[in-house]
Amino acid sequence: MANDMYYIGANDEHGVQPPTPGKRTPVVPGLERQIYENEFNRAAKNKFIEACLRQGFSVYDVKPELYDISITERVRRINRQNLTALVTFAYNAYGTDFNSTSGLEVFYSPSNPKATQSRQLATDMYERLIEGTSQNGRGVKTLDVGVLSNVNCVSSLIEAGFMTNLREAQLMINPLFQTEVGEQACHGVCDFLGVSYLPRDNLANYPLLRNGSRNNFVFLLQFLLNQLGNNLSIDGIFGSSTERAVRAFQSANNLSVDGLVGQNTWRTLLTLSPYPTLRRGNSGQYVTFLQQLLESNLIPVGTIDGVFGTRTENAVRQYQQDRSLSVDGIVGANTWNSLTNLNNLQ
């Protein structure tokens, strides 16, 4: 039975710069700004969608808008879709200042019409999240909010950490943690549905795509390209618009511009290792990834724009000095190994 029979909903709580308090961190030292909850929620949701598309699931994005959408409207949207399951991404808070409260928890509602199945989904995701991240586990719990209790499908909500814990605030904007949460949530959905999980980092899982290809990996390709600013119809058909977007991506990332999506293009789209040596003057997807990692380590780079300029070089040098690495402003194997180890967050 094909996986596209499963229709998975993905929901991110809140929007960009919500007016209500409690949806942002205290001012983060080093960055000298607050991190909004949705900076994590939306990114983790997108990583979850990416993972679900890779499994061949049909996916519904409940809130593609950047701004907030009321719970009433989101519930209305969800209940029109006849979803197999809904997963919501959120981040917790305790108090108004940074403190030691930490950890990850997953919720379901006993009022949901499919409460037993919702509890099982919450349990399956929780087990994978605790296994696949470094987060302290706070358990599977009950909560009566609209996206859990008032929807007509199996539904669970992940609170991946506490934005009032400084380390977990840093994790909110760390692309590796965002990916871990999205991937492990998808793994839990696979466990719940009884289907095999196809992992992200094995390039052998990704087929060669070209103009004329039609399969679930074209859906994934189009979704990834749209996250980079394209406006493709996510229809699973590799046509001329998709080929133009692929060629533009290849050109911007110093890849062979052939319009074919092979292993080098997949690796760069997903920012998989081995990571290239980067220095001032480089640009592209891996530089964006580098800038995100530096910001997560409380070293500002200015605009995250994928351009390795003076400010990014200075940030790299500061990171190298802080971690007792060779201070040369070049991101080689040792610097990458340090940056991509979440245990090194300070």
Report the C-alpha gap between 117 and 119 in whole angstroms: 5
pLDDT value, residue 211? 98
Report the C-alpha gap between 149 and 112 in whole angstroms: 4
The structure tokens listed for 144 are 């009566």
Report the C-alpha gap between 196 and 194 in whole angstroms: 7
Q: What is the pLDDT along the chain (346 residues), one digit of tens a residue?
A: 478 999 999 999 999 888 777 799 999 999 999 999 999 999 999 999 999 999 999 999 999 999 999 999 999 999 999 999 999 999 999 999 999 999 999 999 999 999 999 999 999 999 999 999 999 999 999 999 999 999 999 999 999 999 999 999 999 999 999 999 999 999 999 999 999 999 999 999 999 999 999 999 999 999 999 999 999 999 999 999 999 999 999 999 999 999 999 999 999 999 999 999 999 999 999 999 999 999 999 999 999 999 999 999 999 999 999 999 999 999 999 999 999 999 988 6
Nearest to 103 by CA among 131, 156, 139, 145: 139
Nearest to 169 by CA among 17, 15, 34, 341: 34
Residue 20: count other Cβ atoms within 10 Å of its Cβ.
Answer: 8
| Measured CA distances, 177 to 145, 161, 203, 207, 319 (Å) | 26, 11, 20, 26, 19
pLDDT value, residue 19? 77
List domains and CATH numbers for the chain.
3-193 (3.40.630.40), 204-270 (1.10.101.10), 285-344 (1.10.101.10)
Query: What global pTM score does this model have?
Result: 0.97
pLDDT value, residue 1? 42
Task: State how beta strands 104-108 and 137-142 pair.
Answer: parallel
